[in-house]
Amino acid sequence: FPAVNLHAFLYTAGTVQDLNNLLATNPGWILQTATGINNAGQIVGYGTINGQIHAFLLTPLH
């Protein structure tokens, strides 16, 4: 099977943003799937760090 590079994204007002590009620093994460967003703008999903799959919670800096 070919390798698949998944990236979590946010679609707002006709614009797609790769969530990996929105991280304040490069913590080694590859955010692969966003599964939900709440009214506070927090985004949850799954990604990999150090080759292992983990859940993530992104909280916007307002």
In tens, the pLDDT along 3-62 reads: 678 999 999 999 999 999 988 777 789 999 999 999 999 999 999 999 899 999 999 987
Residue 1 lies in a domain: no
Q: What angle do CA 19, 20, 22 make, to 5 degrees?
A: 65
Residue 17 lies in a domain: yes
Q: Are 58 and 19 in contact (CB under 8 A)?
A: yes
Residue 21 lies in a domain: yes
Segments forming the whole domain that contains residue 38: 9-58
Q: What domain count does the chain have?
A: 1
How far is CA 48 from its chain centroid? 10
What pTM, to 2 d.p., does this model score?
0.82
Residue 2 lies in a domain: no
How far is CA 16 from its chain centroid? 12
Residue 34 lies in a domain: yes
